[in-house]
Amino acid sequence: MTLPCIQVIWGYPPEETYRLSNLDTVEQAPVNQIFQPAYAASWLNKNSAPAPDASVLYINAWLDLRAGDLILQTPKNNNDNYYIISILDSFIGTVGSIGPRTQTNSELSQGAYYLLAGPSSSYYNSPDWTTTINDKTVNIIKVDTPIAWMTGRFGTDVMSATSLENTREFINGDPSESGSGFQIGTINEFENSGSIAYQEPIDQSIINGKAEDEFGDLPTLVTDFFNSLGKSIQNSPIPALRDTEVASPVPSFAAWLGNQNQIQQTPNSDSYLPDSSYQPSSALSEGQKKLLNDRFSSIGLNVESGFSLPTNWGEREAFIFQKAYEFSQQLLSVATFEIAKGKSETNNWNIKNLNVGVYPNSPENNPNLIDWKSLILRAGVAVDGGAANIPNDAVYPTSQLDSEGNPLTSRYNYSITLPPLTNQDNKITYGPAEGFWAYTMYQPNECNTFQPFLIQNSISSNFYTPFNATAKLTEEGWLKTTKPGNWSNANAIGTAIYTGEVVSISELKPLTTYYISEIQYTPNNQKEILFRLSEDYNPDFNWDGRIDGVKGVPVGGEGSPGKAINLTESGETLNFGFTNPVSQLGQAQLDSFVLNENEVIVLQLQQFQPTNSSNWLPTPSEGFVKEAYEFQLMGRYYNPTTAEEKTILAASEPELYLPPKIERGALARLELWSDLSKSSKNLVKEKTGSEIVKPLNQKDPYVPNAIGAVLDMRWSDGELEGTKWALNYEYTRSAHYFNKLFFYQVDAITGQIGTFLPGDANYIDSALTNIINEDDPIANQIDNSTVSGELELEGGRIYMALVLTEQGQYLIPNAQETFNYTHFKVNNPKSFSFEDQMGGGDNDHNDGIFKLAGLSPLSI
């Protein structure tokens, strides 16, 4: 028996489209209808494809061309709305690209029609790219599989209610205006009437438990995977190679291997393919089908007839088959994870700008061989995002590494610097893209079968949240308010709000984040909602291992709010804002960014809010293993163009535009300098000659297990060395066990003492020798209570936390994590906490909570 690794690689995309088409046509819109959601992607999204892009509004449709051709209507675009509509076959090969890049001035100003012709259509087999129906010119997109996928991405400012509303109006159209909005109809309808009927927008998804269970996740059982793959092949057979040429030139709206990159695919270049070489995106020769069948037959897979488990297999073969399938998933996920990390020669970004979106089946156009390298990439795209645009439409560089090649982790602060560039139209831009550019924060998870997802900490930034909502408390304890435009029924539970400066309901606090824990809709008033609030949101950390990923890493969209707060003051009102999560920053936020004196934008990537919150892209903040704090940054360049004679479509430097390096800064530590008393500020002025307190913002050395549970007195450029300070603190115990908290002096932020590093054999002995509060440990005899105290610190020194547990174990922040478990957590710049059991107990990171309460000088 051949192990099913290559079969999984080849079959992953069509198996995925089979599941997604069955799921989406139940939860979103029926087949041959467009799902036009009113909301943008957010941290509450579960596994989705395409991978959630919070810089666009999506539309989505699944097309079944077996019953006949369809007509897609695009409206007039007089307001320069930017969008891309991609038509993909069931093997995720792009066959059509529709939008401002590929449309004529007439099509932009008057609207256009596209005939979506399946493989049995005469239009598909015709050489022509246009036809005339009812005196209207109709573009022909040759869709090479009967089942196809249409995805649309519409550039908009997702954090602006006005921008979102304008974009929705453009997408949905007006039923009173002919040719308005994006519509799909049958060719028979168009032939009879010369138009496409308006369809009321389907803008909310519904959760269907049965469909979720059957189609929501990659199958756990190998037989389920290959049965799905077999059904996909039967529904959408592999397209055949064309034996006749198509009309030349091939229009830009027809995507194929030869016109995906306008920079690299010019005549006489290595990647150039003449129009006479046109073939459908996923077509295979008879010889290639035979090659695949010869390799796949041992497990019962045939690329034309489907899958049938060999009848002569016993329990041993079935067991090996299952284990090999699980290994194949891990191999593919790890390979995808590694590719996404980035390369040193491109500022540690991975830039894929050729043979993506459409994927060569044949190496060097040899129809008798299979291009497995290309198919691995295709499978990786399916794992990482479901589907990708062709490079002419968008390039998505990714990175998981800083400028020195170390993994990105939110335990450090980072920045990327965007200088002003002059584009080919002699205009200033900060990213070489004619559509738009953006940077998106993702939580990756090695070996996780989910696509990377947006992070919960994106709600920590309230800079882009408008405080324009008011709710009235009903007698039943519900808050009633007007439903916002960017509202998702499916993701309502967990939606974050942020209260205003004045709160008249006593059970709620001002300037605080709460989560919707319960929701009600008024049957006769679709514009109102009623909700209850919770103080907490509990992520799902996958402790039961039901998802094939690292335990202790939060899973996107799988958490739940805590208990609802009992609100009693009926009739009172609450002023608040529905939180606009900051999952991405880019061109849409240009007017809000703070620029430096050289007109440079510096984006700040970190857990906690910096001074320039408009430039802040939050990084992950929840988890119990170091992988939970690792993140991936994705750049997005829609309709790439040239700036400073560079483009991200080029093959290599000097023409290739490289996204800026991700520069590591300081460890995300407690900020002792952030809230000084008047006497403290006077001392700083005396020592430094300035009233300005200089925080620690230097570049710290990278340590894989570093955690900022330290007291670092080197701020103000170290000019306070030798001064004595009193640190007031509060310590809360929330644990059954009695623990003692100490601080010990270290030589560096890495925790080094002399020649010893955390984790070394003699390190604990050195740490115990350097304890500064040995006779006065920080402890609390009573569970669920808080004590206060004072520590004496010296300017210019670094002190690290050490916990002695009741069981006699020592816990320190920077030690090699026992059982790959993070015992310490920095909660905010003024507090850290710890879990007191080796490898985790109740996994709440609150057994002991240390909080700064003020810093004052003892002497000069």
Rounded-to-integer distance, Cα 849 and Cα 784, Å: 11
Listed in sequence order, the residues at least 6 apart from 689 whose beta carbon sits closer than 8 Å to its beta carbon are: none
Q: For residue range 195-242, what is the model confidence (pLDDT) as tens digits?
A: 999 999 999 999 899 999 999 888 999 999 999 999 999 999 999 999
Quick check: is 452 in a domain?
Answer: no
The amino acid that residue 667 corresponds to is L
- Domain stop point among 540, 558, 579: 579
* Other Cβ atoms closer than 10 A to 652: 10
| Chain centroid offset of residue 793 CA | 42
Higher pLDDT pick, 552 / 33: 33
Q: Residue 827's pLDDT is what? A: 94
Listed in sequence order, the residues at least 6 apart from 479 whose beta carbon sits closer than 8 Å to its beta carbon are: 471, 472, 473, 530, 531, 532, 533, 567, 574
Q: At what angle do helices 5-27 and 315-341 cross, to 10 degrees?
A: 80
Q: Average pLDDT, whole number, for the chain?
A: 92
- The yes-or-no verdict on residue 3 having pLDDT over 70 is no
Say if residue 379 is in the same domain as residue 470. Answer: no
Rounded-to-integer distance, Cα 740 and Cα 855, Å: 22
Q: Enter the tokens of residue 559.
A: 């958490």
- The yes-or-no verdict on residue 694 having pLDDT over 90 is no
Quick check: is 187 in a domain?
Answer: yes
Q: Which has the minimum average pLDDT: 136-140, 188-192, 715-719, 812-816?
A: 812-816
Q: Residue 109's pLDDT is what? A: 96
Say if residue 373 is in the same domain as residue 481. Answer: no
Q: Residue 818's pLDDT is what? A: 52
Rounded-to-integer distance, Cα 83 and Cα 89, Å: 20
Please, which pLDDT band fits residue 424 given cuts at 50, 70 and 90? confident
- The yes-or-no verdict on residue 175 having pLDDT over 90 is yes
Longest dimension (CA), the chain: 93
Q: For residue range 648-661, what is the model confidence (pLDDT) as tens digits?
A: 999 999 999 999 99
Quick check: is 325 in a domain?
Answer: yes
Q: For residue range 699-726, what is the model confidence (pLDDT) as tens digits?
A: 999 998 889 999 999 988 888 898 999 9
Q: What is the dihedral of CA 716, 719, 724, 729, to 10 degrees?
A: 10
Rounded-to-integer distance, Cα 287 and Cα 706, Å: 55
Quick check: is 725 in a domain?
Answer: yes
Q: What is the DSSP letter of 381?
A: H
- The yes-or-no verdict on residue 745 having pLDDT over 80 is yes
Q: Enter the tokens of residue 511.
A: 């300037």
Please, which pLDDT band fits residue 143 given cuts at 50, 70 and 90? very high
| Chain centroid offset of residue 572 CA | 38
Say if residue 563 is in the same domain as residue 683. Answer: no
- In degrees, to the nearest 5, what angle opens at C-alpha 43 toward C-alphas 85 and 150? 15
* Other Cβ atoms closer than 10 A to 811: 22
Residue in this structure with the two tokens 């942020």, named with its chain if needed: 498
Please, which pLDDT band fits residue 354 given cuts at 50, 70 and 90? very high
Domain CATH code at residue 211: 2.60.40.1610
794-808: average pLDDT:
94
Beta pairing, strands 394-395 & 632-640? antiparallel
- In degrees, to the nearest 5, what angle opens at C-alpha 401 toward C-alphas 701 and 621? 80
Q: Residue 449's pLDDT is what? A: 45
- The yes-or-no verdict on residue 819 having pLDDT over 70 is no
> Measuring CA to CA, how many Å separate 645 from each of 269, 428, 642, 651, 719?
19, 13, 6, 14, 46
Q: Write out the H or E segment, with its range, that includes residue 526.
A: strand 525-534
484-504: average pLDDT:
93
- Domain stop point among 333, 352, 385: 385
Say if residue 200 is in the same domain as residue 341. Answer: yes
Of 297, 276, 58, whose CA–CA distance to 155 is shortest? Answer: 58
Most confident of 55-59, 392-396, 553-557: 392-396
| Chain centroid offset of residue 672 CA | 33
| Chain centroid offset of residue 183 CA | 29
> Measuring CA to CA, how many Å separate 354 from each of 153, 276, 478?
20, 20, 54
Rounded-to-integer distance, Cα 512 and Cα 510, Å: 5
Q: CB-based burial of residue 634 (10 Å sphere; 0-12 exposed, 13-18 middle, 19+ buried)?
A: buried
399-406: average pLDDT:
96
Percent of the chain with pLDDT over 70: 97
Say if residue 33 is in the same domain as residue 167. Answer: yes
Q: Enter the tokens of residue 307.
A: 């899958």
Q: Enter the tokens of residue 551.
A: 């335990």
Rounded-to-integer distance, Cα 148 and Cα 241, Å: 18
Rounded-to-integer distance, Cα 847 and Cα 841, Å: 10
Say if residue 573 is in the same domain as residue 673. Answer: no
List the beta bridge partners of residue 183. 73
Quick check: is 271 in a domain?
Answer: yes
Cis peptide before 554 (omega within 30 of 0): no
Q: Enter the tokens of residue 599.
A: 């007109």
| Chain centroid offset of residue 465 CA | 20
Q: Residue 860's pLDDT is what? A: 57
Q: Residue 72's pLDDT is what? A: 98
Q: Enter the tokens of residue 345.
A: 């020669």
Q: At what angle do helices 315-341 and 372-385 cross, to 10 degrees?
A: 80
Q: What SS3 class is residue 746?
A: strand
Rounded-to-integer distance, Cα 229 and Cα 7, Å: 10
Which structural domain, as residue segments, surrounds residue 277?
5-385
Quick check: is 372 in a domain?
Answer: yes
Of 70, 27, 93, whose CA–CA distance to 236 is shortest? Answer: 93
Say if residue 471 is in the same domain as residue 377. Answer: no
Q: Which has the minimum average pLDDT: 332-346, 463-477, 557-571?
A: 332-346
Rounded-to-integer distance, Cα 735 and Cα 784, Å: 7
Rounded-to-integer distance, Cα 339 and Cα 315, Å: 36
Rounded-to-integer distance, Cα 302 and Cα 489, Å: 42
Of 334, 339, 335, 364, whose CA–CA distance to 351 is shortest? Answer: 339
- The yes-or-no verdict on residue 338 having pLDDT over 80 is no
Q: Residue 859's pLDDT is what? A: 67
> Measuring CA to CA, how many Å separate 552 from each of 441, 540, 843?
19, 9, 9
* Other Cβ atoms closer than 10 A to 32: 19
DSSP structure string for 197-243? -----B------HHHHHHHSS--SSHHHHHHHHHHHHHHSPPPBPPS
Rounded-to-integer distance, Cα 614 and Cα 700, Å: 24
Say if residue 284 is in the same domain as residue 186. Answer: yes
Say if residue 469 is in the same domain as residue 372. Answer: no
* Other Cβ atoms closer than 10 A to 235: 18
Q: Write out the H or E segment, with its range, that includes residue 380.
A: helix 372-385
- What is the total residue count of the chain? 860
Q: Residue 832's pLDDT is what? A: 95
Say if residue 221 is in the same domain as residue 351. Answer: yes
Question: By the 8 A CB rule, do 712 and 743 touch?
Answer: no
Q: Enter the tokens of residue 342.
A: 């980035």
Quick check: is 555 in a domain?
Answer: yes
Q: What SS3 class is residue 162?
A: helix
Q: CB-based burial of residue 775 (10 Å sphere; 0-12 exposed, 13-18 middle, 19+ buried)?
A: exposed
Q: Enter the tokens of residue 768.
A: 């115990």
Say if residue 285 is in the same domain as residue 137. Answer: yes
Q: Which has the minimum average pLDDT: 490-494, 611-615, 710-714, 841-845?
A: 841-845
- Domain stop point among 326, 350, 385: 385
Percent of the chain with pLDDT over 90: 76
Q: Which has the minimum average pLDDT: 21-25, 353-357, 674-678?
A: 674-678
Say if residue 360 is in the same domain as residue 492. Answer: no
Helices (H), 270-369: 286-296, 315-341
Q: Residue 342's pLDDT is what? A: 86
Q: Residue 741's pLDDT is what? A: 96
Q: Which has the minimum average pLDDT: 247-251, 308-312, 841-845?
A: 841-845
Q: What is the dihedral of CA 424, 430, 432, 437, to 10 degrees?
A: -140
Q: Residue 43's pLDDT is what? A: 85
Residue in this structure with the two tokens 């004072």, named with its chain if needed: 790
Higher pLDDT pick, 659 / 447: 659
Q: What is the dihedral of CA 622, 624, 630, 633, to 10 degrees?
A: -30
Q: How many domains does the chain have?
A: 3
Q: Which has the minimum average pLDDT: 66-80, 278-292, 511-525, 816-830?
A: 816-830
Residue in this structure with the two tokens 């004045």, named with its chain if needed: 502
- The yes-or-no verdict on residue 568 having pLDDT over 90 is yes
Quick check: is 369 in a domain?
Answer: yes
Q: What are phi and psi of 463, to 5 degrees?
A: -60, -40
775-798: average pLDDT:
94
